[in-house]
Chain A
């Protein structure tokens, strides 16, 4: 096994999240009609981080952020064993601009399931995708992110590991090849 390659260390991680926030502000101004939805299980950390950072930059406290579990909408159900997580969306997304957030964009299947799952909460005006890492050569579906932390070229057998200081001591993204 090769040595894991660090894609983002904690310093660049912070810079990247901040840059994504300013890109969001460019389009969504004061977030009065925009909500953030993080996909369970790993997208919620980025979603929360972005919410906190945006509130800090915009000096407001009411930016809405929810978490969405997509287990029941997956297309690989029964191919592997899945355990559902919590969905917590305590606002209405009808006619809202939604920023869907996940950590890694890989085949696009998770996002496809996320779009389906979201429809149970209303008809959004507009949906955009934000990811920390885009593995651009691995897509199975025609899905692209509008906001990307970092784009990497990787092969299927490689694995991208995103660590969060909330759960894994420090913020870090590494590429592991088997």
Chain B
């Protein structure tokens, strides 16, 4: 296979396993590129890419921007907080105005689920979803799968537990789709209030006991408690959450095997994960960040190649 089956990257749900494998294989080539003395290739030198961030982001925004620059694309950045969105402009108007300046691709993060799909139906540019509300975050899932593949050799047959705030997490949903398409087993673990009611229909296991989840898995993907998305109280206190679902060195060392610890960031040290775990040799959190650039380069490269 040499081309993606899709023109946009809106979510992992639309990708075939072949698409995902093509992206991961291409990302390996780009990982070699970004470890060279000269980290730049001229592949996208004739393209202009707009990064539209209607929601705050550090890692994803920097990672996309670096990926674009290392592919030699021209980059324009847009943050909703300092733009005319505040003056009442609609999403389509904002984007069409940006496209009128001859932009070829749009990377967008938006607080509303489905924003990227909506945009892809109304405008004539390639869209990469960099997170839409609590729906999907496809490049994060791809870089997580890539990191698992690099650490454990393959994703197929591995057991991955996603632990924490599943309800508000786009990372969880994209990860479930991506890992299942690659043949992994997925479990979600967290307080019942933070696990979506019908999540079993996606074919994942559900567990409320952290220790049981950790004993079962090869990889634990710890998620942040998204307080900014929680309008009601889902658990009595952060302290209680940490006691029941926080990953600390004591639990990690008491497990019967060595598991891999991941986190999509930003981490709340001392809440879902303690510092000594986050900085331990079982944690691949910083590798995930490095791989993020390579994976995003692969996504942009492959989408651009689709005429």
Taking Cβ atoms with an 8 Å cutoff, the residues of A that contact B are 69, 71-73, 77-78, 81-87, 116-117, 119-122
**A41 CB → nearest B CB, Å:** 12
Identify the stretch in B33-41, B73-81, B214-222, B275-283 within 8 Å (CB) of chain A at 4 or more residues. B33-41
Given the interface contacts A72-B33, A120-B37, does A84 sit within 8 Å of B304 by beta carbon? no
| Interfacial residues, chain B to chain A (CB-CB below 8 A) | 2-3, 22, 25-26, 28-30, 32-33, 36-38, 40-43, 71, 301, 304-307
List, in ascending order, chain B residues with CB within 8 A of A86's CB.
Answer: 28-29, 32
Distance of B302 from chain A, by nearest CB (Å): 9
A73 touching B26, Cβ below 8 Å: no
In the assembled complex, which residues on chain B have CB atoms less than 8 Å from the CB atom of A78? Answer: 304-305, 307
| A to B CB contacts below 8 Å, 21 in the list | A69-B29, A71-B43, A72-B33, A72-B42, A73-B43, A77-B43, A78-B304, A78-B305, A81-B306, A83-B2, A85-B29, A86-B28, A87-B33, A117-B41, A120-B33, A120-B36, A120-B37, A120-B38, A120-B41, A121-B36, A121-B38
Contact of A82 among B30, B32, B305, B307 (CB under 8 A): B305
Q: Which residue of B lies closest to A87 (CB)?
A: B32
Q: Are B41 and A81 in contact (CB under 8 A)?
A: no
Q: Are B29 and A71 in contact (CB under 8 A)?
A: yes
Chain A positions within 8 Å of B43 at CB level: 71-73, 77
Q: Which residues of A contact B42 (CB under 8 A)?
A: 72-73, 116
* A73 touching B41 in the complex, CB below 8 Å, given contacts A83-B2, A85-B29: yes
Is A83 touching B37 in the complex (CB atoms < 8 A)? no
Give every chain B residue within 8 A of A82 (Cβ-Cβ). 2, 305
Bound-state Cα–Cα, A73 to B45, Å: 10
Q: Given A116-B42, A121-B36, A121-B37, are A81 and B305 also a contact pair (CB < 8 Å)?
A: yes
A128 to chain B, nearest CB (A): 22
A41 to B31, CA, bound (A): 19
With both beta carbons as reference points, the residue of chain A lying nearest to B46 in the complex is identified as A78
- Residues in chain B near residue A87, CB distance under 8 A: 29, 32-33
Instruction: Report if A84-B26 is in contact (Cβ < 8 Å); known contacts: A73-B41, A78-B305, A120-B37.
Output: yes
Residues of chain A with a CB closer than 8 A to B2's CB: 81-83
Name the residue among B2, B29, B30, B71 with the largest chain A CB count within 10 angstroms: B29
Measured CB to CB, the closest approach of chain B to A21, in angstroms, equals 29
- What residue of chain A has the Cβ atom nearest to residue B42's Cβ? A73
Residue of A at shortest CB range from B29?
A: A84
